[in-house]
Chains A and B, each alone.
Chain A
């Protein structure tokens, strides 16, 4: 299982960093939860996220909005995803916790450490492929520079 989670994370990072955002919803099950929050909100049990999607279609909408509607300066990410810790199972779900680091590269060459944190995942076998039923992105900091467009 560990190897499957590592492979999922590697593919996930490449899809985002290579600007294949249309592939990003495919890492999730149809009914899912993807949320970006801060460690402070998470610890206090405050539920809101800067992104909150509880269906795969909401993830597709996020990508469509980024492609078609939203304005933001050209930028890319470089994800470094650490080794997952498998922290438990619930029925068919595997719980994993994985640290990540994201560098943001702006069009003028500015590189910033944009976000660090951990993915709190619930994973499931979905027709032979391992998919995310839940990915709570708990950022260590609750401060976001300028804007967050591309998903973490």
Chain B
């Protein structure tokens, strides 16, 4: 089950074979070994399931999952699959139940922990039919996931051996999660972006600090982040998670580094007619104006100035995925901060000034490398290692991804 089907071409983290984005059997193995394996998948916000009976439906890999607040106050998660014939148990994105879910197909019912508690006509009708006398409901049920919460985020895992979330993330990344998610959040909106590429191309893109100011001309032009600005990238010791950040120090407007490279990002004369877009507040009191953080395998936590969002990666096939955006603010935001976040949401999302390109660039790779399954991509900026660096002109965090990926996959 889920065994890798191909051999990795070279024993360096700086080369990645293109078949890894194309191979159907490999994709099936990823769902088993990574998403259903010893990893924590982000599933929802704690505030999404505030009261007992409140639930959200989501995915861990391709597995449909119900996340629900139990009567005991704990958050439970189980596969959204009836133990009988496999139908979805819950059909809405979110809602609230009293104390049980009932499958619409044959009315089998489940408590808030996913235990099978009711079978319609279990004893048959008029003494005939019904389930065998020795059928044990406790032996049947959707798969249960363990959950954990961190700073208002809910994670779930199927594997008993997944370490506690704090250990899973490591101290450095944990600190960077706490930096942003330190207060009760308020959801400002949700959007889904369908991307025409393998899920890993998006996850790599988010970890790739090298591309940010090259592909995204908006960044460079308005000096939101540039490789020549202060900042760096932190990579967890196992390579799986990262946080990149930019420190908001105004630089010399005539900064020569980009001009010397002849790079498109330097666009003279492009100025905002309404500069309120970039009117930001240093709300975390550390001058970090941009932080992008990933939690392997499916979460991105984003702070772009005062625009905050969590993005959940949902693979939907070997060459397709969905990105589930939840734009957030804090419950104690005043009206001015809320307006600021709404305006700055223009920077991100499917129509984002600085993230629009990320929606299409994965598809460019998927299509560009369509016939190159036996070729490799080059991930060599900053060497071959995965250590944290105080520059973003590196692909260390991308290599970190492949380090973790290969360990999980057995390559």
Residues in chain A within 8 A of chain B (CB atoms): 36-38, 40-41, 46-55, 57-58, 60-62, 64-65, 68-73, 142-149
The complex places the Cα of A46 from the Cα of B187 at a distance, in Å, of 7
Closest A residue, CB atoms, query B338:
A47
Q: Assess the B353–A69 pair: CB atoms within 8 A.
A: yes
8 A Cβ contacts from B273-317 to A: 273-274, 276-277
Q: Assess the A50–B342 pair: CB atoms within 8 A.
A: no
User: Please, which residues of chain A bring their CB within 8 A of the CB of B277?
Assistant: 58, 61
Closest A residue, CB atoms, query B362:
A146
Task: State which of A49, A144, A147 has its C-beta within 8 Å of the C-beta of B342.
Answer: A49
Tell me which of A53, A68, A70 has the highest count of chain B C-beta atoms within 10 A of its own C-beta: A70
Q: Assess the A53–B346 pair: CB atoms within 8 A.
A: yes
For the residues of A in contact with B, the DSSP-based class is mixed
Closest B residue, CB atoms, query A65:
B353
Q: How large is the interface on B (under 10, 10 to 19, 20 to 34, 35 or more residues)?
A: 35 or more
User: Please, which residues of chain B bring their CB within 8 A of the CB of A48?
Assistant: 188-189, 327, 341-342, 345
Task: State which of B191, B267, B339, B343 has its C-beta within 8 Å of the C-beta of A50.
Answer: B191
Q: Assess the B274–A149 pair: CB atoms within 8 A.
A: no
Q: Assess the A52–B346 pair: CB atoms within 8 A.
A: yes
Task: State which of A46, A53, A62, A146 has its C-beta within 8 Å of the C-beta of B360.
Answer: A146
Q: Assess the B270–A64 pair: CB atoms within 8 A.
A: yes
Task: State which of A36, A72, A146 has its C-beta within 8 Å of the C-beta of B196.
Answer: A146
Min C-beta distance of A31 to chain B, whole Å: 11
B204 at the interface (CB under 8 A from A): no
Say yes or no: A69-B351 contact (C-beta < 8 A), given A48-B342, A52-B343: no
A-B contact pairs, 9 of them (CB 8 A): A40-B93, A50-B352, A51-B346, A52-B343, A58-B277, A69-B218, A71-B215, A143-B194, A145-B196
B136 at the interface (CB under 8 A from A): no
User: Please, which residues of chain A bring their CB within 8 A of the CB of B327?
Assistant: 48
Bits for B191-202, please: 1 = Cβ < 8 Å to A, else 0.
Answer: 111111000000
Task: State which of B190, B191, B221 has its C-beta within 8 Å of the C-beta of A69.
Answer: B221
Q: Assess the A72–B273 pair: CB atoms within 8 A.
A: no
Say yes or no: A61-B274 contact (C-beta < 8 A), given A46-B188, A48-B188, A52-B342: yes
User: Please, which residues of chain A bring their CB within 8 A of the CB of B93?
Assistant: 40
User: Please, which residues of chain A bring their CB within 8 A of the CB of B346?
Assistant: 51-53, 58, 62
Residues in chain B within 8 A of chain A (CB atoms): 93, 187-196, 215-218, 221, 267, 270, 272-274, 276-277, 322, 327, 338-339, 341-343, 345-346, 349-353, 356-357, 359-361, 363
Closest B residue, CB atoms, query A151:
B351
Closest A residue, CB atoms, query B349:
A50
Q: Assess the B191–A147 pair: CB atoms within 8 A.
A: no
User: Please, which residues of chain A bring their CB within 8 A of the CB of B217?
Assistant: 68-71
The complex places the Cα of A102 from the Cα of B334 at a distance, in Å, of 37
Say yes or no: A40-B190 contact (C-beta < 8 A), given A52-B343, A61-B273: yes
User: Please, which residues of chain B bring their CB within 8 A of the CB of A60?
Assistant: 273-274
Min C-beta distance of B328 to chain A, whole Å: 9
Say yes or no: A37-B218 contact (C-beta < 8 A), given A48-B342, A147-B360: no
Q: Assess the B360–A72 pair: CB atoms within 8 A.
A: yes
User: Please, which residues of chain A bring their CB within 8 A of the CB of B187?
Assistant: 46
User: Please, which residues of chain A bring their CB within 8 A of the CB of B356?
Assistant: 70-72, 147-149
Q: Assess the B351–A142 pair: CB atoms within 8 A.
A: no
5 nearest A-B pairs in the assembled complex, by CB-CB distance: A48-B189, A147-B359, A57-B274, A57-B273, A48-B188
User: Please, which residues of chain B bring their CB within 8 A of the CB of A38?
Assistant: 190-191
The complex places the Cα of A69 from the Cα of B354 at a distance, in Å, of 9
Say yes or no: A71-B270 contact (C-beta < 8 A), given A49-B345, A58-B277: no
